[in-house]
Amino acid sequence: MNCSSEPPNGYIIHNANIYTSDNDLPKIESFVVMNGRFIDIGNKIDLMKKWKIFKSIDLKGLTILPGLIDAHGHLQYLGDSLLSVNLIGSKSVEEIRERIREYIGSHPRIDPTTEWIVGWGWDQTLWTSKSFPTCNDIDCDPFLKKFSISLSRIDGHVMLVNKNILVKIEEKTVDGGEIGKDKETGELTGIFVDNAMQLITKIMPSPSEQTLLQQLRLAIYRMHSFGLIGVHDASVSLDKLKFYKRIINEQSEDFNIRYYAMVEVPNNNYIDGIEIVEGLGDGRLTVRSVKLFMDGALGSWGAAMLEPYSDDQTKHGLLLSDPTLLPSEIRKWMDKGIQVNTHCIGDKANHVVINAYEAAFKDYVLSQNVDKELSEQEIDEEVKKIAEKVRFRIEHAQILTLKDIKRVSRLNIIPSMQPTHAISDMKYAEQRLGSERIKGAYAWRSFIEAGVKAFPLSSDFPVEHVNPFLGFHAAISRKDVDGNSPHGKDGWFPSQKLTRQEALKGFTIDAAYAGFSENVMGSITIGKYADFVVIDRDIMEVPEMQIVDTKVLATIFGGKVVFGDLKI
């Protein structure tokens, strides 16, 4: 018997415009929260009569969504980018130099003998030259030349370093990557692509724990300010996971997000030491997946293509590891109960990984039925069952053949996609891929019509802006924030648009499903964590151009306000 005189810790939200992402009851006006969970839903009159002991909160018609989930982001890099030189949107190397000088001016205590200047976000496709920068573009400034400077491209697949760092690099070639060299002199240009970036990161000074905590707090606050309560972190080291676990155990208020970790795997090889974690810290941390890399990015010509690039016939992109080894490595993860999520941009990378997944599935089925003589049809049926159980993902799934799009559905593979990537790439993608290959690029509707089990959406922050409402707008309009596209007012390849309901599911329940957490989050459903967001407009009804200006009024995590001023 509970003899406490304290009332139960609960409240009723009512008079709200609530989208639940729950197919059984997609729209409601009221719900009840107690001890961090939704305990009842329905209409105002019934709930206030039933739970009259609880405080009631009148939302006056405001719109509520389930707490939003970014199914592919980078928490550490977001925090790092918020403390680094912001190069996003820079239109020239001259502007890059200017931004670096401004950063140094605002950080006068930087010690050039021990510290590096780190920047994030340059994109040569925005420049007149369209060419990669070189170390000389930085070192031509005598003031900047004194510093060690490392600048990452917007997609995170290319680094530019100046000569102070370049002189420390002894390797001239690397598997699965490119080290930029001058075509005439053979000298290093300071450009490092894909696997070659590891030569830089391994000599980069490590941030202090105080800096890491500052980055974490900044990143989570930024997420909350845009209604995000969850992220699937697409490549996190075991060391960083130890740091996050300690924060959760010692000061959990600094980790008020639901974090699904994809453990980084060097060279796509199986590693020991990964322990499955289910909902540590009242649902704050789950570890049950790994992140593999098959190719680079489209913007740097690193995406692995079956045929040469249409705008540069000398390039096919890069496969970052030996594809023949993948099936056996994947089987090891399957046996351990670990989900495999693989970065694939180009049609060759996607084809290779789909083949590898299918081979691993078939090998598993045959190993479990050594005493049975299975027909091809029976094998296919068993493959579908095991694939649905393990929920393997393709991260980005950006460019596929039309045949492979159908195979993704048939094999119960989850395509994890970023709508804003299409908006960033649409200005050059068709030229780079050609008129036929582009038909299988950013093909969201094609995946839906093929019958994929779930279609999680994300931003890939900080590669794109962390704001999920920009992704929502991109998904339903295929236009930029000004309403423009290369194909006019109806959007870029408008037949590939998502509906608003599909887009909302992508940032809520489908994202939860992709992280094995659909039973505890992703919708406003009785028994799930009370994660929700209050916004200033109804994104399911307003004109699409108004969506990009959506403001978050409050973000609630486990029933508690973590952003905004909602009085609970």
Domain membership of residue 363 as a residue range: 209-514
Is 368 found in the same domain as 459? Answer: yes
List 188's β-bridge partners, or say none.
181
* CATH code, domain carrying 350: 3.20.20.140
The answer to whether residues 90 and 187 belong to one domain is yes
Taking the C-alpha atoms of residue 378 and residue 359, their distance in angstroms, rounded to an integer, is 15
4 within domain boundaries:
no
The predicted structure's pLDDT at residue 353: 98
pLDDT at 521: 98
Share of the chain above pLDDT 70, in %: 99
Specify the number of domains making up the chain.
3
Instruction: Spell out the residues 6+ positions from residue 462 whose beta carbon is closer than 8 angstroms to its own.
Output: 74, 77, 78, 81, 120, 121
At residue 174, the pLDDT reads 84
Across the range 391-402, mean pLDDT stands at 98
Based on the fold, state whether residues 290 and 238 are members of the same structural domain. yes
Q: Is pLDDT above 80 for 390?
A: yes
Identify whether residues 485 and 539 lie together within a single domain.
Answer: no
**522 within a domain of the structure (yes/no):** no
67 within some domain: no
Where residue 145 sits, what CATH number does that domain have? 3.10.310.70
Considering the domain architecture, whether residues 237 and 177 belong to the same structural domain is answered as no
Q: Are strands 37-42 and 393-396 parallel, antiparallel or unpaired?
A: unpaired
What does the pLDDT read at residue 39? 98
Domain of residue 20, CATH code: 2.30.40.10
pLDDT at 1 over 60: no
- Residue spans of alpha helices (H) in 148-283: 163-166, 198-201, 209-225, 238-250, 280-283
Indicate if 447 and 539 belong to the same structural domain. no
Would you place residue 113 in the very low, low, confident or very high pLDDT band (cuts 50, 70, 90)? confident
- Give residue 532's pLDDT: 98
Q: Has residue 186 got a pLDDT over 90?
A: no
Closest by CA to 293, choosing from 328, 329, 345, is 345
pLDDT of 7 above 70: no
Residues 104 and 188 placed together within one structural domain of the fold:
yes
pLDDT bin (cut points 50, 70, 90) of residue 8 is: low
> For the stretch 457-476, what's the b/e string if a residue is b when 16 or more beta carbons lie within 10 angstroms of its beta carbon?
bbbbbbbbbbbbbbbbbbbb
Task: With cut-offs at 50, 70 and 90, classify the pLDDT of residue 6.
Answer: very low
Q: What is the pLDDT of residue 422?
A: 98
SS3 367: helix
Mean pLDDT of all residues in 306-330: 93
Q: Find, among 433, 122, 172, 434, the residue nearest to 301 by Cα.
A: 433
Domain boundary among 201, 223, 241: 201
Specify whether 372 is located in the same domain as 305: yes
Is there a single domain that holds both residue 438 and residue 481? yes
Average pLDDT of span 399-414: 98
Write down which residue in 201, 221, 252 finishes a domain. Answer: 201
**C-alpha span between 171 and 11 (Å, rounded):** 62
CB neighbour list of residue 98: distance below 8 Å, 6 or more residues apart: none
Burial category of 306 from C-beta neighbours within 10 Å (exposed 0-12, middle 13-18, buried 19 and up): middle
Let me know if residue 434 belongs to a domain: yes
The 3-state DSSP class for residue 8 equals coil
Q: pLDDT class for 402, splitting at 50, 70, 90?
A: very high
d(CA 328, CA 331): 5
Contact status, residue 224 vs residue 553, Cβ threshold 8 Å:
no
Give the pLDDT score at 4.
Answer: 39
Whether 5 shows a pLDDT value over 70: the answer reads no
Contact assessment for residue 557 and residue 229, using Cβ atoms and an 8 Å cutoff: yes
Cα–Cα distances in angstroms (integers) from residue 180 to residues 173, 177, 189, in the given order: 10, 10, 5
Sign of CA dihedral 86, 89, 91, 92: positive
3-state secondary structure of 166: helix
Q: In this predicted structure, what is the pLDDT of residue 195?
A: 87
3 state SS of 340: strand
539 and 488 fall within a common domain: no
> Distance (Å, rounded) from C-alpha 359 to C-alpha 392?
13
Rounded Cα gap, residues 61 and 14, in angstroms? 9
556 and 441 in one domain? no
Q: What count of other Cβ atoms lies within 10 Å of the Cβ of residue 239? A: 8
Q: Which of 97-101, 111-115, 444-448, 552-556 has the lowest mean pLDDT?
A: 111-115
Q: What is the DSSP code string of 41-93?
A: EE-HHHHHHHTTTSEEEE-TT-EEEEPEEEEEE-HHHHHHHHTSEE-TT--SH
Q: Is residue 496 domain-resident?
A: yes
Average pLDDT, the chain: 94
Contacts of 477 (CB under 8 A, 6+ apart): 483, 491, 497, 544
Final residue of a structural domain among 153, 183, 201: 201
* CB-based burial label for 147 (10 Å; 0-12, 13-18, 19+): buried
Q: What is the pLDDT of residue 562?
A: 98
C-alpha neighbours within 13 Å on the C-beta side of residue 90: 24
Which stretch of 280-294, 363-377, 431-445 has the lowest confidence by average pLDDT?
Answer: 363-377
Same domain, 124 and 180: yes
99 within a domain of the structure (yes/no): yes
Longest dimension (CA), the chain: 84
19 found inside a domain: yes
User: Is residue 51 in a domain?
Assistant: yes
Give the rounded percent of residues in the chain with a pLDDT score beyond 90. 85
d(CA 340, CA 387): 11
